[in-house]
Amino acid sequence: MLHIYNSFTRRKDPFTPITPGRVRLYVCGMTVYDFCHLGHARVMVVFDMVARYLRARGFDVTYEEDFADKRLAGKTMHYDVEIKGIKNKSVPECNDEWVKELGQAELNTVDELRARIREGMEHEKKHNAEHQVKEELLRQLAERFPIDVPTVLVENGINRRLERGLRSLMGQGLRAEDLKRMDFSKLRDAQREGALRDVRANLLLEKIAEQEGIAVSEEDVDKEIASAAAASQQTPAALRKQLEENNGLEGVRSQMLCDRALDWLFRRSVPAETEQTGGEQAG
């Protein structure tokens, strides 16, 4: 029997579908900002395992209209599963031979693999610690210098926040009919304070960049576009054209300038030993 953790009762309860004989199941995609790790695969593996189990139990499967496989989109299917055999799980021994089979030319021993994993974990820990410190720096900067900002910039900031949020939700299965039920007036109001803080912080960072002689060259912009193009599987020329058509090129340059000003502020706010260990936050 399938048991699922119930966040209301705070215990594992037997799974009982709301509609007898029918189960609605969605999997949320990942938003990856850094090196991939096993946790990224776990969400897909668990989803696939539970879905297979439910099919084996005889539940009908109704595929959404926008399901990737058009042969199944919008259809309800019934699966009958016949067990033809039971296999034992075999875990390979963690030795140098197994490491070589991974196909990574620079990895030949278990010690090298462990060193690579440790390096990745340390990098992620340092990245997260740095991100937290920078967020606190931005918050303190905006609170200490509560400058007035143009309303149009705040509204644009709200639009960007909503666009990012809705794009993420649509990637997780949000449907068009779900959008129609949303109260966008309340959503905009909920994002206003955060957008005001973002705009205020960016204006202050631009002023810091101006005073400290921090600049972004065309070569820097080209490198940023090339990196973004590789991540989105486009050519740099195609991405640049898209940015130019949507007046986004200046936004890229402005964001790079703010990021560099924030890096400058971070380096002067965090002691060297803290920066290396990812320890205490700046006061």
Task: State the pLDDT at residue 217.
Answer: 92
Task: State the pLDDT at residue 162.
Answer: 84
| Nearest CA among 264, 244, 253 for reference residue 223 | 253
**So where are the chain's domains?**
3-78, 145-201
Task: State the pLDDT at residue 263.
Answer: 92
**In which residue ranges of the chain is pLDDT below 70?**
8, 26-36, 68, 170-177, 270-283
pLDDT digits (tens, 9 = 90+) for 159-204: 888 887 777 776 666 666 677 777 888 888 888 888 888 888 889 9
Among all chains, which residue has been given the structure tokens 């799980």? 89
Task: State the pLDDT at residue 283.
Answer: 37
Q: How far is CA 228 from CA 49, 130, 215, 221, 225, in A?
A: 34, 22, 20, 11, 5
Task: State the pLDDT at residue 258.
Answer: 92
Task: State the pLDDT at residue 8.
Answer: 67
Distance CA 249, CA 123 (A): 30
